[in-house]
């Protein structure tokens, strides 16, 4: 009789273990399918008491001043030219949403931040994110309460940009470090250290004339292209608050 009871107890324990393992597996599958949105929303609530205050560090204030001066200059020069470009979508009715940075992965390979606004606030995949200084990146995915932002420094980031002094377009590519590369598909491009880089007036993904950064160094021409390193105005590792640009595109 005792042996029977022991066997029964052992089987019951095994069933409980199997049930727990099954539930854990089910949870992992659910998190995988939802792309981590449940985890992000949970993090939203537990991190809420620790969200940053409204004040930025001194470096951010300097970046904000740079942004205003450069933006004014670019707007004055590009306003007339944009009206003459055919088959380019015009961005208008820009509404900004303020959001706090609640998590960041700005080192190594990841290069992304998580902000405390999500789909319930009207944030959409592809929305433009700016901070004091200029462009930070674009929204990669959203949950109900949060959004993940791919930074310009991420290897996943590739955006068309504009070098104002020489009036030439290029491709800004993240490399996983603090200085993305600007690729100009002309080895004779007269780009110099100190040139300002902004979002392209011909872009259909971003509003035009958003300050991005300044040319820090220029490599020797390689075959049919020239490559430069860009120092970004907006510093994601010290920015606590960002703006989400909700842009309505007029066809």
Of 112-116, 138-142, 195-199, 238-242, the range with the lowest mean pLDDT is: 238-242
Of 2-16, 179-193, 236-250, the range with the lowest mean pLDDT is: 2-16
Same domain, 95 and 191: yes
Structural domains in the chain (count): 2
pTM of the model: 0.68
At 251, the pLDDT band (50, 70, 90 cuts) reads very low
Same domain, 44 and 64: no
Same domain, 29 and 138: no
88: which strand partners?
A: none
Cα distance between residue 221 and residue 26, in whole Å: 54
Average pLDDT of the chain to the nearest whole number: 78
pLDDT at res. 249: 44
Same domain, 17 and 139: no
What's the farthest any 2 CA atoms get from each other in the chain?
A: 95
Angle between helices 2-33 and 37-47 (to 10 degrees): 90
Same domain, 45 and 82: no
Q: Which residue has the higher pLDDT, 124 or 56?
A: 124
pLDDT at res. 86: 42
Closest CA to 114 of 151, 81, 89: 151
Q: For residue 134, give the CATH number of its domain.
A: 2.40.10.340
Per residue in 43-68, pLDDT tens?
Answer: 677 776 666 654 455 556 566 666 66
Same domain, 76 and 33: no
Question: Whole domain around residue 36: which residue ranges?
Answer: 2-50
Same domain, 110 and 148: yes
Cα distance between residue 66 and residue 70, in whole Å: 6
At 88, the pLDDT band (50, 70, 90 cuts) reads very low
pLDDT at res. 104: 85
């Amino acid at each position: 009789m005792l042996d029977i009871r022991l066997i029964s107890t052992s089987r019951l324990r095994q069933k409980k273990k199997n049930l727990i393992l099954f539930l854990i597996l089910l949870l992992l599958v659910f998190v995988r399918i939802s792309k981590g949105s449940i985890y992000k929303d949970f993090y939203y609530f537990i991190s809420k008491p620790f969200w940053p205050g409204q004040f930025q560090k001194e470096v951010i204030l300097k970046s904000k001043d740079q942004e205003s001066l450069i933006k004014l200059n670019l707007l004055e020069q590009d306003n007339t030219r944009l009206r003459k470009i055919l088959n380019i979508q015009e961005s208008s009715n820009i509404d900004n949403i303020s959001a706090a940075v609640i998590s960041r992965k700005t080192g190594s390979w990841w290069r992304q931040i998580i902000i405390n606004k999500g789909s319930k606030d009207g944030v959409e995949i592809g929305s433009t994110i700016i901070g004091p200084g200029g462009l930070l990146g674009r929204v990669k995915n959203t949950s109900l309460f949060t959004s993940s932002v791919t930074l310009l420094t991420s290897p996943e980031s590739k955006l068309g940009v504009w070098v104002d002094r020489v009036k030439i377009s290029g491709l800004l590519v993240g490399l996983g470090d603090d200085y993305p590369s600007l690729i100009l598909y002309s080895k004779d491009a007269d780009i110099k250290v100190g040139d300002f880089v902004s979002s392209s007036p011909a872009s259909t993904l971003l509003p035009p004339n958003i300050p991005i950064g300044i040319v820090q160094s220029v490599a020797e021409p390689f075959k049919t292209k020239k490559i430069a390193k860009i120092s970004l105005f907006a510093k994601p590792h010290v920015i606590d608050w960002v703006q989400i640009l909700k842009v309505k595109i007029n066809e």
